Amino acid sequence: MNGAQDKLKVLFASAEAAPWAKVGGLGDVAAALPAALIGTAGSALDIRLILPFHAEIKRKNPTLGYLGAFSVPNQTGVFSAELYVASLHGITTYLLDSELTNHNSPVYYGDPALDGRKYAAFSVALLEAARFLDWQPDILHANDWHTALAVYALKTLYQQDPFFKETRSLMAIHNLPFNGYGSEFAMTELGFMPGTYEDLPDWARLTPLPLGIAAADQIVTVSPQYAREIQTRDFGCGLHEYLEKHNNKLIGILNGIDTRLWDPAADPYIPFPFTAADTNGKTLNKAALQRELHLEENPDIPLLTVVSRLDHQKGFGLLFDAIPDNARKPWQLVLLGTGSQDLEARAEDLMRQYPQKIVSLLRYDEAMAHKLYAAGDLFVMPSLYEPCGLSQMIAMRYGNIPVARATGGLQDSIINYHKAPDEATGFLFTEKTHEGLVSSLNSAILTFQEKETWAKLMNNAMNKDFSWKSSAQNYWSIYQEIKSKRE
């Protein structure tokens, strides 16, 4: 592939992209993967990102150009959409605004019908945006339920449309349980008919993510282990039989992290930079954080950290249940997170009960997240399931050793001290119980007292390559395979 015409054209559709709109890891991935792909494929690839023009992005007021307005058909006529263009990390990024995607809306309402309406409309409008630009994508790379209906539309509403005749699709699953259930009304309004895929269960016939999965030419999930897990009843959310039967089009590719953004040697948010060779700055960051949060300033007390959406997925039940019985042991815990009200209430209660040991910061705070990764000794992530998880990779890069459940991407990215102490980068446990977590935490805390062993663990973790490089190469090969299928 050399000439401009031969470039592979990929439309990367996402609900989030950091720093403009980030709720969790999807925001990190959409911001980093397209640029990493350009790093791999160079001028052979023309990849462009498209996002809803959320209120949050408007508030950040990025430099942008107005491209114009176009119409999107629906059952009651047409609705109008406006397209803007900007650059995010050097990637051409389209911002799509319209009444149906709800001008000035939050990234997610948390209300299935409102989110359904916003993202069903966005999914159709993003295809019309490509037509408006007269830019025929070779591949639509959709992410999660929010843009899954664009994949389904290619095989239904747009199947006979010559403009999309050559467009193939990749459906990336970042989180299977979030499937867009509740979008039925919006889908019907937009002219979608229920899916007729006989391998899908009935409830899935008007549900965005299963329809995107069934319609896609390729399914990718964000770690090899999660790709295996979702083919089982325990993790498959009712789609395991479909996924197992069609596993010839399913692959797991581990996410990476943006190693320039997450770099303890050059992180503008942390007061004391450090490296694997010289971790003195880490000790100073810990002391500074203990002071800032009015915890006892003591390098020998293990500092446990959590940076997470407060969602039951993340296993907070295990962590919170473990605290009362272990409150007399020497540790401190700083938790940064926001999300479900019941988990926020429990986190607040625990801080009230153990003010000397626990600080719960119930907010989204980028700067504090960096400080916690840098200051912490142990990063607690007892997820019940974890498609990939970026937090544990970021933590390892900052010498903050994860104690995590052996599931999904946690299992793929952490080398377990219990199994391979010499190469270990963290501690993994399998039981879905607080006893399982406590036993792993106890051995981590004991190991923390052995200065030399701990230094080795930190060194192993900090030297691991968590960059996007090899994963971007995998995605690039997949793109080429999907394209060659059509020729």
Q: Which residues bind ligand GLC (CB under 6 A)?
A: 24-26, 29, 174-175, 222, 255, 386-390, 409
Q: How far apart are CA 282 and CA 233, in angstroms?
A: 43
In terms of CB distance, is 286 or 314 closer to ligand GLC? 314
End-to-end CA distance of the chain: 15
Residue 93 binds which of ligand ADP, ligand GLC, none (CB < 5-8 A, kind-dependent): none
- Smallest distance, ligand GLC to C-beta of residue 351, A: 25
- Contact 417/424 with Cβ under 8 angstroms? yes
- Smallest distance, ligand GLC to C-beta of residue 256, A: 10
Residue 366 binds which of ligand ADP, ligand GLC, none (CB < 5-8 A, kind-dependent): ligand ADP
In terms of CB distance, is 11 or 336 closer to ligand ADP? 336
In terms of CB distance, is 177 or 271 closer to ligand GLC? 177
Position with the least CB separation from ligand GLC: 25
Residue 217 binds which of ligand GLC, ligand ADP, none (CB < 5-8 A, kind-dependent): none
- Contact 205/215 with Cβ under 8 angstroms? no
In terms of CB distance, is 51 or 81 closer to ligand GLC? 51
- Smallest distance, ligand GLC to C-beta of residue 386, A: 5
- Smallest distance, ligand GLC to C-beta of residue 205, A: 25
- Smallest distance, ligand GLC to C-beta of residue 310, A: 13
Report the interface residues with ligand ADP, using CB under 6 A. 24-26, 28, 307-309, 336-338, 364-366, 369, 388-391, 394
In terms of CB distance, is 175 or 290 closer to ligand GLC? 175
Q: Which two tokens stand for residue 466?
A: 């968590």
- Smallest distance, ligand ADP to C-beta of residue 24, A: 3
Residue 222 binds which of ligand ADP, ligand GLC, none (CB < 5-8 A, kind-dependent): ligand GLC
- Smallest distance, ligand ADP to C-beta of residue 428, A: 16
Residue 155 binds which of ligand ADP, ligand GLC, none (CB < 5-8 A, kind-dependent): none
- 251: nearest Cα among 277, 223, 285, 210: 223
In terms of CB distance, is 103 or 309 closer to ligand ADP? 309
In terms of CB distance, is 26 or 41 closer to ligand GLC? 26
